[in-house]
């Protein structure tokens, strides 16, 4: 089992990264990604001057717990709540999540703005818990997917109940997009946006079933390969 969207006491989660790692080992998970919030006015988050400390903390855990893969991620609130003009290049990170891209309900900046910023980021970039049908369903879907492929931007399947409509997760509401997506080299990640309840640390089963049903195995593999290429022990 794996989960690439987990918050800790570095931002608004209630457990330290080490408690998360220990619990993941207990649950016999193979891979986890810690993804605390980068400096935003929305929630408690990591100021840019502490980014190195955060990264070092995760790297120290990697050394200490060698039988588990621990990835260093971070989540950017892509809205006026974040100082986007001074965003760092996130060197050393295994991947960077962007939330609220093109999401008008959350004041999210438009997708095209991300394309400029993406070029300056030295890590795989993923759209986190995006309501794709709402935000991109009215656009030319193939053109959208081509841009994701060329600019190396991936999509996250998020199982958190916060990202559902009438009980259906956003990814299940976008069949037109995912049926086409598998024909593109677009990485697909999975996560539960965990903040407090350790019970849900491995709660990604529905996303894994969706990957099987929709034949997105290659896309998940591509994500694992790209973050693996960055991963150093
Ligand atoms: Zn999150």
The CATH number of whichever domain residue 150 belongs to comes to: 3.20.20.140
pLDDT for 231 equals 75
Distance 177 CA to ligand 1 centre (A): 23
Distance 226 CA to ligand 1 centre (A): 20
Query: How far apart are the C-alpha atoms of 106 and 75, rounded to whole Å?
Result: 15
Q: Going edge to edge, which strands form the sheet with 153-158?
A: 2-6, 31-37, 69-77, 95-99, 125-128, 153-158, 188-191
Among the listed residues 125, 132, 225, 135, the one whose alpha carbon sits nearest the alpha carbon of residue 181: 132
pTM for the full model?
0.96
Structural domain for 176, as ranges: 2-230
Give, as one character, the DSSP assignment of residue 20.
H
Distance 49 CA to ligand 1 centre (A): 20
Domain count, the chain: 1
Collapsing DSSP states into helix, strand and coil, what is residue 38? Answer: strand
Distance 200 CA to ligand 1 centre (A): 14
> Going residue by residue through the chain (233 aa), what tens digit of pLDDT does each one get?
999 999 999 999 999 999 999 999 999 999 999 999 999 999 999 999 999 999 999 999 999 999 899 999 999 999 999 999 999 999 999 999 999 999 999 999 999 999 999 999 989 999 999 999 999 999 999 999 999 999 999 999 999 999 999 999 999 999 999 999 999 999 999 999 999 999 999 999 999 999 999 999 999 999 999 998 877 65
């Amino acid at each position: 089992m794996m989960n690439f969207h987990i918050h800790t006491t570095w931002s608004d989660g209630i457990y330290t990264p080490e408690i998360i790692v220990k619990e993941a080992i207990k649950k016999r998970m193979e891979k986890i990604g810690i993804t605390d919030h980068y400096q935003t006015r929305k929630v408690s988050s990591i100021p840019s001057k502490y980014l190195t400390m955060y990264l070092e903390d995760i790297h120290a855990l990697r050394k200490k717990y060698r039988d588990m893969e621990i990835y260093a991620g971070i989540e950017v609130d892509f809205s006026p709540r974040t100082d986007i003009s001074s965003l760092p290049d996130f060197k050393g990170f295994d991947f960077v999540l962007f939330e609220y891209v093109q999401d008008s309900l959350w004041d999210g900046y438009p997708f095209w703005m991300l394309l400029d910023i993406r070029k300056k980021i030295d890590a795989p970039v993923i759209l986190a818990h995006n309501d794709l049908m709402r935000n991109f369903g009215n656009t030319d879907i193939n053109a959208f997917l081509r841009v994701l492929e060329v600019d190396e931007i991936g999509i996250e399947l998020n199982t958190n109940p916060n990202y559902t409509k009438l009980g259906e997760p956003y990814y299940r509401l976008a069949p037109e997009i995912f049926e086409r997506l598998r024909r593109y080299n677009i990485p697909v990640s999975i996560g539960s946006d965990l903040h407090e309840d350790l019970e849900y640390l491995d709660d990604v089963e529905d996303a894994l079933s969706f990957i099987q049903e929709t034949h997105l195995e290659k896309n998940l593999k591509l994500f694992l390969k790209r973050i693996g290429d960055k991963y150093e022990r």
